[in-house]
Amino acid sequence: MKHAVRTTVSSCLIILILLVSGCTNSISTGAIEKGELYNTVGLAAGSQLFDANGLALEAYAEHAFIRTGFMWDAEVGCQLEGRFIGENGEWSDWLPMVTRWSEGLAHSGYIDVRGQSAIGFQLRHVAGPAPSYLMAEAIDQIGEAVERGQAVEQPESGYKSMQQALAPGNLVHSRADWGARSPACSSGSHSPSRITIHHTASPLPDSVSVITRLRQVQNYHIDTRGWCDVGYHYLVDWNGEIWQGRYETTIGAHVLDNNTGNVGISFIGTYNSSSPTSAQINNTAGLMSWLKNQYGISMTRTKVKGHREYRGNSAGDCPGDRLYAKLGDLVTLAAGGSVDPGDDPGDDPGDDPGDDPAGSSLIQGVVFLDQGQGTSDMSWRLPGATVSVSGHGNTVARASDAYWSVAVPANSYTVTASMSGYQTASRTCTVTDGSQVWCSVGLVPGDDPGDDPGDDPGDDPGDDPGDDPGDDPGDDPGDDPGDDPGQDPADNHEGQGKVYGHVLVGIEKRYAGDPELGDPVSGAKIMIYGEIIMTETDEDGYFEAWVDPGTYGIIAQAEGFLDGGNECSVVEGSETECEIRAIPDSHDLDPGDNDQTDIDMYPGCSTTGHMPSAAALVLILVIGLVYRRRDLS
């Protein structure tokens, strides 16, 4: 009875606070999913997450909670804090973010309630670059919810990896393909008898690579939610590639109180204003057909549901309105039937209905920084780039995500992208009648090689027409990250300063204190944010670059190492030393060794609670994987 009274009081308090606080016409929480507090993906045009003082709106949950969990993308130097309001209506002090995992721009972590549970939360941006993507949700339980008859077991000695998935390799990428962590515990087994479709409510087009987003989701589920593994059994990227999550006969963590017998398939992205691609629909239907044949799952809408159908069926909730509208097509295709392709509202992740006039085809893509992997890694976008489609004039890559699209009739087109400070690149793509074809273009830093159009290293008429995942980075001789004519020592560096240093092996310490330094790391790829300069370390691990005055995040990537980072300030006419530590990549850390209070590795979006002294000129940002446990309902 006391609990019922407290719940009523809490509900009244939330209503009162919402009435008093009112609305702001320029900032919004952007929350999409049930349980979310914030999501930048859901922000309307012209809205933003933070006001001029760095404050986000106060956000309130339907139920009391004990932790706010975060996934976010941000450049080096971002600082976030949060505070909670309890059932007594009092706000806590501002608390620092605990960063549990980082990889390049992508991070995950949490802020815990101090003391009793909370009913609301407020986030603030303290300093540095603002997140380009942030999702925060209220978490009322750490660890997987145990259903009746289910037991969650801790890993036994020697329990290191999932069994090999049964799904054939022509349908699904293995866990090894995306560098999945070993499960932190065992959630038990089940016999698949139904399917639930989800979306991850992350950016679309995405701001990081598929593999990075997969690892972000898994680490968020394990380290922040306390689950055994990534909650889903399969994840489908925007190119229609399917990635193995949990083994399908292992109980998942994707529908609260309805995980037993339930196979979770999640589409990476957000599908309210954007539509799933035909490749996503067709390939997922192929997987569902395999599940039907393998486990006898009936392909009906009673056995294949959207996540929202288990929790109120609200518009906009998971798996997004446009993907939810496709569930009938998925079922029909998986059962061996056919659907009218005209029903597909479009493959455009940016999905602007105005870009797709009736009866026309669409050629579309993004302009990105080519890091030597072609379109398999389009995480560094180049908004503002000029894109020309032969015979159809020029357009400009969108400011938010460098997306572009042009309505065209069926034909072959040469798409050329150009931008100051980058080598112009082209590719040829073929558009069939009524189709929507991807034709993304990557640019390499440096001056344009020459006025002769035939000199364009990206101009490959034989390039795969529109199939971005198959793009061969070897087609572009400019893909060499060290190939930067702008860094020739003979160049005039008037008005600039030099940043230099070494990449050295760092031996990770799980406790307070800096990593010990070891041997130099040769051949490491160096990326300097802000200037978008790419180079490589020599045999002594040394690198240098000339840049305009300012503060830069410098990232080092090397095979066999976690990304290392440092933030250094460069003054005109001076030389600044900027050492970077690279931690050997290991997936064998003991998941039971997870005393977060002893870990002092806060890479990427740092927090004021764990910042080095303000007098320090160098902020060491060790970008690494820290292993813990978590899940997703």
Phi, psi for 374 (deg, rounded to 5)? 60, -145
Distance CA 11, CA 46 (A): 31
Average model confidence (pLDDT) across the chain: 77
What is the structure's pLDDT at 482? Answer: 38
| 621: confidence class by pLDDT, cuts 50, 70, 90 | very low
What is the structure's pLDDT at 374? Answer: 77
Q: What is the mean pLDDT of residues 41-50?
A: 90
Contacts of 615 (CB under 8 A, 6+ apart): none
What is the structure's pLDDT at 488? Answer: 44
| 152: confidence class by pLDDT, cuts 50, 70, 90 | very low
Q: What is the mean pLDDT of residues 344-352?
A: 43
Distance CA 264, CA 242 (A): 12
Cβ–Cβ < 8 Å for 106, 605? no
Distance CA 628, CA 109 (A): 11
Predicted confidence (pLDDT) per residue in 275-286, tens digit = 999 999 999 999
Predicted confidence (pLDDT) per residue in 562-595, tens digit = 777 777 788 888 888 888 888 776 533 343 443 3
User: Mean pLDDT lowest for which of 8-12, 109-113, 550-554?
Assistant: 8-12
Res. 186: pLDDT tops 50? yes
To the question of pTM greater than 0.85 for the whole model, the response is: no
**The sheet that has 525-528: what strands, in order across it?**
533-536, 525-528, 550-557, 564-570, 619-622
Buried b (16+ CB within 10 A) or exposed e, 357-392: eeebbbbbbbbbbbbbebbbbbbbbbbebbbbbeee
Residue 301 DSSP class: T
DSSP 464-521: -SS-GGG--GGG-GGG-TT--GGG-TTS--TT-EEEEEEEEEEE--SSSSPPEEEEE-
